Structure 1
Amino acid sequence: MLENDPKTAPVISEDQRFRLLIDAVVDYAIYMTDPSGIITSWNSGARRFKGYEESEILGEHFSRFYTDQDRAAGLPQRALDTAVSEGRFEGEGWRVRKDGTLFWSHVVIDPIIDSQSAELLGFAKITRDLTDRKMAEETLKQSEQQFRLLVQSVTDYAIYMLDPDGQVTNWNQGAQRIKGYLPAQAIGQHFSMFYTPEDREAGEPQRALSIAASEGRFEKKGWRVRMDGTRFMAHVVIDAIRSDTGTLLGFAKITRDITDATQAQQALEQAREALFQSQKLQAIGQLTGGIAHDFNNLLTVILGNLEIVRKRMPSEPKLSQLLDNATQGALRGVSLTQRMLAFARRQKLTSESVELSALVQGISGLLQSSMGPSIHIQTQFAEALAPVLADVNQLELAILNLATNARDAMPHGGRILIQAQERLATEVTGLDKPLAPGRYICLAITDEGEGMDELTLASAVDPFFTTKGVGKGTGLGLSMVHGLAEQLGGRLILRSEKSVGTTAELWLPVADDSVAQTPPATPAQAPPVEELRVLVVDDDSLVLTSTRLMIEDLGHRVLCAPSGAQALELYERNQDIDLVITDMAMPQMDGAQLAKLLRMRQPNLPIILATGYAERLEGFATELPRLTKPFKQIDLVQIIGQTMK
């Protein structure tokens, strides 16, 4: 406990206490103007901030501190008008010192009203230099009554004094507004009543006074408690008040409610974190898409050569089994690249109107057989459910992935509940990127499994993240579903609680009435094609050779070019080319650019674009037939027949 001998402590009046209070405030420039804005008082803090002596500035208009642009825009008078009409003006902006330099200031202007006549006496103005947080001492050069009016008129800051023991000795309107106590309720009480119970238990109030007494000043941010029990984030400054002889007279305390500013800063930090995560996923998506593209080239070579070998080798069961195993391994690679492209949102989607209840019913047998006998699947679909806009094959794969994850979370069996109902985008909150306005169908798959903690849930959709152990999962299942939902204009939302279970919500946009329901397509029979002269273009030599062998095996003649420029040269020397099959992603000149130049030479030349993922095409290139890698010989037969018919 800080002690002061009452026999030696000087007796000071209430007005002197107010003067000492203002004299002790070293972090704010506080001065007054008359109703027209003419400066009537000037303190040392203002002199330090702005560079003017009292004799230079008294009688001058306060607008001289504003920049030329602000004066031209009428900002000084608007500030006074706002203070009168709204009871207070607060703002930040550039101000000008005497030497012409600029400083960024936080300004509060309060009108001073005579309580009896309601006459406007002038304005109390508080300025804080935010350019340099180390403020000099502020000495107010006003009459005792002016100091009282000034302090009592400030409502944005709680300004009050404490005796050496921490008892409140006066109370301004700002303190009443921020903390909720009337002067009679606060004066005489110990200031620790404003602290939280945990801070009082930790000795924070006494520590603050000890630091202020020993170092002259204490500053900190922390939670404080209002009279109604609610908490607010406060910025607190406590300055020690000493007499000329160094005797501790008490403390000047300024508190500001910074709850809104703190919440805004937290929101900004969350937005930055969300942006970082988005940029991270975008970079990983680009990398994943590029890897998948290269894998598709390799798989095209492998599958193509396996097909040719199978056709030409003798019929031996052991060799056939080896080829079957190799083909199955390559097809598993195709499935992996599809998941990678789904995460990167680069797979080619065929959007159509899909009835979710019919789709789930159609794959119910596959789902149940995949889940095993210990898993019970239950469905609940709202009546007259609107169709969604989706790719049927990719959506089936997504549902299977989510159901498989649910099964793996219940190693001892359990129930998987599949539900669907119509929802609005406004019903989803807390997303880093909000859903586009409109109607959605929420397809929810819920399990009764182990659930996920917050750390696991935060990483669940990251590519290659898995909790299934080495060799038991690629870590791309949820990434694929996430990428598919985003590409369709929807969202994958995971909700989970440890030891309770997980719900995966797949939000898909409702299909417009203009989108017709598309029945399952059956592959069209390729018409027979006579011998063609085909120009094949690909910058990957392995793909180029494999494609040539497969086309030659179909009875066609083939010319090969490893680049767009060489393809143009070959075409100039061979005007009898019937068909061009070109890779889309090539350096210097891509497939679309090559197709445009070839069409300028021969407008009706059949051209097929081969692609490892769904690149964005423009102009006439969007109408060209596309051959998706990895492709097999039957795919070549099909697309050549359709293109040449």
Structure 2
Amino acid sequence: MSREQQMSSEERLSHSELRLRQITDTIPAHVGYFDHDWVFRYGNKRYAQWFGTTSEAMKDRPIPEVIGPHVFAQVEDKVRRALAGEQVSYEYSMPGPDGETRFTRSTLVPDFGPDGEVIGCYVHAVDITEQRRTQDALAQAQKMEAIGQLTGGLAHDFNNMLTVVMGNLQGLIEVLGEHPAVDEYVQPAMAAAEGGAGLVRRLLAFSRRQPIAPVVVEVNGLVLDMARMIRRSLPSTIAISTASRDVDLRALVDPNQLESALLNLALNARDAMPNGGELRIECSLECIEGRAAADLELPPGCYVQIAVSDNGTGMDSATLARVFEPFFTTKSFGRGSGLGLPMVYGFIKQSGGGVRIRSRQAVGTTLSLLLPQAPQQVQAVAPPPVSVAPAAALEGRLVLLVEDDDKVRDVVRKQLSALGCAVLEAESGHEAADMVENIPAIGLVLSDIVMPGGMDGRALARFVRRFRPELPLVLMSGYADKAEDGREEADVQVLDKPFSAEQLAAALHAAIA
């Protein structure tokens, strides 16, 4: 006779319960049972640990006592519906022991007695914290990408309008000369237009469409130099300190943009400490992998980190979720554009890095910039000097101006005429290609990049290079990522809108040099 046959009915039942408990404790789910009196009769190991207790300790205790008031407020109605005979699925959140919010998806299945009445409910729950974190990160990335595409598209139209405004204002200044109306009316309008151009550049920085010039930068030295400048911008009630955990930190980044980003962060920290405090900038080599790398949308590896910390007012979770959105600001009207942090975010992402921010109200904020580490063998190379052709080289030259916006075309034609150029105009790439093919006297092509009709500026540039490879060519664009595409064409100068007459002349000189 086997051992199981020798066991009494009570022993067999106890043995079966033990095996069932072992099974439920092993499966990757939270399993429990409560009766119609809202009292737990069972909870497996994972379910009990989820609420900071044990299976034995939660048995025969009321539901609110086990799960706590925060969770009970979220599930009370679901429990009531399940005990009325309805199978219910729902999600709820709770603070974890580490302070981070945890999420679970739970299903309540009614347990019916022989008479058809509900005598209790089975609970099956799964921890979905990682899933929610991934979904939230994806949704945030998609939202930021959508905003970036919107701002990049708007920049093209804004830059065309600003080109018209600034070109006509410059023409008015030249016509009026020393007239008092220039200082009183025209110059303020020009300053406002230039401010608008700066606003568009910041939008493009957020949308990662602003040209950057990354070089090898010794980060510790740059931060020390910036700290000296920042100190002059801070009140005496705010102390500033710097530290580095690593001696040789070299990043591949645009130094001018990085300095602007650090200044932005320092000024934000200053505003967060109205009663004084400490601003700390710390540099280090940070190696990230796994979930940390995925959250930052970066490949695993080591990055140069610049952490800017303050012990100011801090931010709540709602504010923290929106700090990188363009035009979102907590400052009073007129004190901030809401483009500081978005500009920083866009520049760092375009540089191949990441941004992470931690903040607690009444404790402070730390914003960390992670930048790609420069290969050890790469050395910073100074750009070659640009040779400028004499102004006489433009005198009498026949320029083909290709621009679909008639107002922009009118302004640029006047600027070209002022430089001594003869001007032919075309409204499309196809019309311009016909002119290049049939008018040998054309001595330079100045074309917008973004044009309708199937042949944009890049396609026109390729045609010109094949048909007349010696013909100087300049592309202009108010849409910076399109301008970057144009720079991929060899020997093509790219002029970003809006531009002044001096910038136009410099681009034309460089093209014919």
TM-score range, shorter chain: 0.7 to 0.9
- Please show how residues 150-549 of structure 1 align to structure 2 within 5 Å: 156=23, 192-193=60-61, 197-198=65-66, 237=109, 239-242=111-114, 255=122, 258-259=124-125, 262-264=126-128, 266-316=129-179, 319-320=182-183, 322-364=185-227, 366-426=229-289, 429=292, 432-519=295-382, 525-528=388-391, 529-531=393-395, 532-549=397-414
1:591 is matched by which residue type in structure 2? G
The more displaced of 612-621 and 500-509 is 612-621
Structure with greater Cα Rg? 1
2:451 is matched by which residue type in structure 1? M
CA contact (8 A) 2:39 2:61 kept: no
1:309 is matched by which residue type in structure 2? L
CA contact (8 A) 1:527 1:642 kept: no
What's the offset of the Cα at 1:376?
3.6
Q: Does 1:631 align with 2:494?
A: no
Extract unaligned runs of 5+ from structure 2.
26-30, 50-54, 93-103
Distance 1:513 1:536, change over 3 A: farther
Distance 1:219 1:407, change over 3 A: closer
CA contact (8 A) 2:429 2:460 kept: yes
CA deviations 1:527-572 (Å, max 9, x no partner) are: 4424311111111222211111111111111111121122123323
What's the offset of the Cα at 1:622?
5.4
Q: Return the alpha-carbon distance in structure 1 between the equivalents of residues 510 and 32 of structure 2.
A: 87
What's the offset of the Cα at 1:151?
7.7
Extract unaligned runs of 5+ from structure 1.
1-113, 118-143, 181-185, 224-231
Q: Return the alpha-carbon distance in structure 2 between the equivalents of residues 574 and 157 of structure 1.
A: 85
- Please show how residues 555-570 of structure 1 align to structure 2 within 5 Å: 555-570=420-435
CA deviations 1:208-252 (Å, max 9, x no partner) are: 99999x9689888899xxxxxxxx99766563544xxx699x96x
CA contact (8 A) 1:157 1:255 kept: no
2:99 is aligned to none
2:152 is matched by which residue type in structure 1? G
- Partner SS state of residue 285, structure 2: strand
Q: Return the alpha-carbon distance in structure 2 between the equivalents of residues 394 and 357 of structure 1.
A: 16
CA deviations 1:562-620 (Å, max 9, x no partner) are: 21122123323422111111111112221101112222321222211112212252896
In structure 1, which of residues 591, 594, 597 is the aligned counterpart of residue 463 of structure 2? 597
1:578 is aligned to 443
Aligned identity (percent) is 34
Distance 1:596 1:373, change over 3 A: same
1:609 is matched by which residue type in structure 2? L
Distance 1:333 1:368, change over 3 A: farther
- Partner SS state of residue 445, structure 2: strand
What's the offset of the Cα at 1:384?
2.3
If asked which structure has higher relative contact order (CA below 8 Å, sep 6+), I would say 2
Q: Return the alpha-carbon distance in structure 2 between the equivalents of residues 285 and 390 of structure 1.
A: 21
CA contact (8 A) 1:421 1:443 kept: yes
CA contact (8 A) 1:234 1:255 kept: no
What's the offset of the Cα at 1:388?
0.9
Distance 1:380 1:593, change over 3 A: same
CA contact (8 A) 1:221 1:235 kept: yes
CA deviations 1:321-341 (Å, max 9, x no partner) are: 644323322221121111100
Q: Return the alpha-carbon distance in structure 2 between the equivalents of residues 167 and 411 of structure 1.
A: 52
Q: Return the alpha-carbon distance in structure 2 between the equivalents of residues 620 and 457 of structure 1.
A: 38
Distance 1:620 1:419, change over 3 A: closer
Give the TM-score, by structure 1 length. Answer: 0.63
Q: Return the alpha-carbon distance in structure 1 between the equivalents of residues 288 and 110 of structure 2.
A: 49
Q: Return the alpha-carbon distance in structure 1 between the equivalents of residues 233 and 46 of structure 2.
A: 65
Q: Return the alpha-carbon distance in structure 2 between the equivalents of residues 314 and 463 of structure 1.
A: 39
Q: Does 1:641 align with 2:509?
A: yes
1:482 is matched by which residue type in structure 2? Y
What's the offset of the Cα at 1:311?
3.4
What's the offset of the Cα at 1:412?
3.6
2:151 is matched by which residue type in structure 1? T
Q: Return the alpha-carbon distance in structure 2 between the equivalents of residues 299 and 167 of structure 1.
A: 70
Structure having the larger proportion of residues in helix: 2
Q: Return the alpha-carbon distance in structure 1 between the equivalents of residues 166 and 236 of structure 2.
A: 36
1:551 is aligned to 416
- Please show how residues 41-80 of structure 1 align to structure 2 within 5 Å: none
How big is the alpha-carbon RMSD for the aligned residues of Structure 1 and Structure 2?
4.5
